[in-house]
Copies of this chain bind each other. A is one copy, B any other.
């Protein structure tokens, strides 16, 4: 089955890349940009078809590799294999 993980900075954590994008958009004439936030999505194809096992496995992946829990939060969603 397929899992989708969305990883983003916790509120209040500075994101220089998002700030640079917002600034660049302003310089390019997009005057209506009030703010930009960024997130990272990982879609992971898993051998298991058991939703509980898949969620538990992806949670462990987030804890050990995919996310930095000090500054990031993550949200796991299970998808039918697309």
Contact = CB atoms under 8 A, between A and B. Distances in A.
Q: How many copies does the complex hold?
A: 2
Interface string A21-47: 100110010111111111111111111
B37 A40 contact: no
Interface of A: 6, 8, 18, 21, 24-25, 28, 30-48, 57, 60-61, 64-66
A31 to B, nearest CB: 8
The 7 closest A-B pairs by CB, nearest first: A32-B47, A34-B45, A39-B41, A35-B45, A37-B43, A32-B46, A36-B44
Given A28-B65, A57-B32, A40 B42 contact: no
A78 to B, nearest CB: 14
